[in-house]
Amino acid sequence: MGKRGLTHTLNKEKILRILSDHPKWEQKDKLPFGQETKVGDRSQIANQIFPPDLEGASVLDIGCAEGFFCFEAKRRNAGRVVGIDIDKERLGEAIKLSRALSADIEFLECDISNVEELGTFDYVLCLDVLHLVEDPIHFIYKLIHLTGRKLILEIADLRLRRRKRVIVCGRLY
C-alpha cells in the first residue's frame, strides 16, 4: 500500500503555478498553503459517500475528472485509489495535483468498457457517467461485481440539467 493521507513537497510558488496553468477546474480541491481550486464544492457529497476514516479501503472513481473524490479518499486514509477518465487534459491536471500532494493515486486514461480488468474495490463511484454508457444496465451489473462495500451512482437528469443522486449502500453478496 502507498502513503496514508496526503502530504506535499512543493513550495507555495509551485502550487500557485499549478493553479494558474489551469484556471477552469471542474472540482474544488484543497491544496497546501491555504490554496484551493476555485469551483463548486462537492465536499458534502464526499461526506455522504465516505466515512471519516476509510482505514485502508480501496476506491475506484469512474469518470474522475481532476480527481476530487480520489484526493478526498486519500485524505480519509484510503489504501489503493484509482481514478479513470477518458479526458487526457483532466487526467493531466489530476496527475499534477497528485504530484503536488505526494498522493499515491493511480490515474488512468481508460475506456469504461473494460473496467472489470482493474479488479475489485471496496468503494466504486460512478458519478454523472451512466448517461454516456451505451448499455447502462449491463454496466451497472459490471459495477456490482467490482464492488465490495459500497457502489455510488450519480445520475444526470438531462432534461432539467441538474444531478439526481442514488446511493446504493451495504454489502453486496
Q: Model confidence over 39-83: pLDDT tens digits?
A: 566 678 889 999 999 999 999 999 998 899 999 999 999 999 999
> Looking at the domain assignment, is residue 7 inside a domain?
no
> Looking at the domain assignment, is residue 36 inside a domain?
no
Tell me the pLDDT band of 20, cut-offs 50, 70 and 90. Answer: low
For 128-142, write each residue's pLDDT tens digit.
898 888 899 999 999
CATH number assigned to the domain comprising residue 162: 3.40.50.150
> Looking at the domain assignment, is residue 101 inside a domain?
yes
Q: Quick check: helix, strand or coil at residue 55?
A: coil
> Looking at the domain assignment, is residue 60 inside a domain?
yes
The CA-to-CA distance between both ends of the chain, in Å, stands at 26
Please give the residue range of the domain that contains residue 56.
41-168
For 82-112, write each residue's pLDDT tens digit.
999 999 988 998 898 888 888 899 999 988 8
Asked if pLDDT for residue 116 goes beyond 80, the answer is yes
> Looking at the domain assignment, is residue 28 inside a domain?
no
> Looking at the domain assignment, is residue 67 inside a domain?
yes
> Looking at the domain assignment, is residue 6 inside a domain?
no
Question: Element (H or E) spanning 154, and its range?
Answer: strand 147-157
What pTM does this model have? 0.75
CA distance 29 to 36: 5
CA distance 114 to 111: 7
Quote the number of domains for the chain.
1
